[in-house]
Amino acid sequence: MYRPNSLWTWAFVGVASVQAAIVLAFEAYVFATFQTSLKNDAKNETASRTIPTFLTLYIFGFLYQLLLAYDALRLKNTIQIIGLCLFNVALLLYAAVQMEQIQDAVSSLQNKIDTTVWPDEKPFLIAIPCIIAVGTILLSFIAWKLYDEFAWTIYKHISADLRMKRRYLTFQIYIALLKFDFFLFIGFTIQFVVIVVKRDDIEFWLTIAAIPVTILILIMAGLFTRRESRLGMAAVIILYFVALAYFLFKLVRMYQKNSETNYLPARKPLTTFAVITIILIIVTIINAIICTMNFGKGLKPHIAGRKVESEDEKTYVTEMPNLSHGPVPSRMTID
């Protein structure tokens, strides 16, 4: 099991953990306060479902960030570490939306909620984006230090071929994108199902079915890239375009006059998720095409799965080994 082994790896884990602990504690308080302030006749109101869903998903976002932070440090993946800093920025934007969303929900519920809930929660809702902003600055600084720290590892273990390094970098970016795509796809879908779609509507069941399908597509996308399957990647890229069309359709539909009332209670968080997801899908499509163009150019042996036998090898499992002296043996030895 991996344990941080340097000042800056411990610092990254420490900052991410402290940030998550404080924000999760505040979010738990806001969630509990909001729920206990609701009156019995508020249960059927859309706004009463919006905030719990919003807060639960936000809590999941921080737990998922901790998981990705551990994964990035274990693999010494600087690309994923940089991605986590950008992920923190997205959480910061979401925190800014959160305060206005809760205020709107309290206003719309009127006599169906305790009116003292907003003054009680407001200080915590202001503090949350401030904490995340400080966390983003600290994580970005530590990421810069980790980039320097991991650069020596990359220098020692990546082939001297500059073009091969670029191909491997593209592969790493693509795999990191898939991990962030997972959270955004699932996050948008869960909000859409709980808040907007009615259970007696066929769209509800189609959306539910899309969740496991999305997970399968993302898993297969990584597998096809590792195995350099052009046909598989072509199918995945087509599905990416379908997903892009779906999110663009939903984004436009949320602001059309004939349908905006269905989305109004959750339009701001859904819009935030949709815009970020659309940007990420476009970047993923571009990266997937570049990865496909790199097939057959000698990258496959570098990224092929292999059994790791020692702790040192575990450290470098995602860094590209030097193949200048021949192929990787089935069991690696350490001098």
Q: What is the reported pLDDT for 141?
A: 95
* From 68-77, 124-133, 202-211, the region with the lowest mean pLDDT: 202-211
* From 112-121, 202-211, 281-290, 313-322, the region with the lowest mean pLDDT: 313-322
Mention every residue, 6+ apart, whose C-beta is less than 8 A from residue 50: 101, 105, 195, 265, 266
The model's pTM: 0.79
- Tell me the pLDDT tens digit for each residue of 32-49: 888 888 877 666 666 677
- Tell me the pLDDT tens digit for each residue of 151-161: 766 555 555 56
Q: How far is CA 276 from the centre of its chain?
A: 10
For 189-193, which contacts have Cβ atoms below 8 Å and span 24 or more sequence positions? 189/214, 190/53, 190/57, 191/53, 191/54, 191/57, 191/266, 191/269, 191/270, 191/273, 192/250, 192/270
Instruction: Identify the band that residue 112 occupies on the pLDDT scale cut at 50, 70 and 90.
Output: confident
Q: What is the reported pLDDT for 316?
A: 40
Q: Which one has a higher pLDDT value, 45 or 147?
A: 147
| pLDDT above 90 as % of the chain | 32
- Tell me the pLDDT tens digit for each residue of 238-254: 999 998 998 898 888 88
| Helix or strand (DSSP H, E) at 45 | none
Is pLDDT at 148 greater than 90 in this prediction?
no
Q: What is the reported pLDDT for 1?
A: 78
Q: Which one has a higher pLDDT value, 21 or 35?
A: 21
Q: What is the reported pLDDT for 267?
A: 77
- Tell me the pLDDT tens digit for each residue of 65-101: 999 999 999 888 888 999 999 999 988 988 888 888 8
Task: Say which DSSP state 321 is in.
Answer: P
Q: What is the reported pLDDT for 309?
A: 37
Find the mean pLDDT for residues 194-211.
Answer: 72
Token look-up 């499992």 returns 317
Give the span between the Cα atoms of 218 and 298, in whole angstroms: 24
Give the span between the Cα atoms of 232 and 226, in whole angstroms: 11
Mention every residue, 6+ apart, whose C-beta is less than 8 A from residue 275: 251
- Smallest CA-to-CA distance from 38 within 106, 123, 119 is with 106
Instruction: Identify the band that residue 292 occupies on the pLDDT scale cut at 50, 70 and 90.
Output: very high
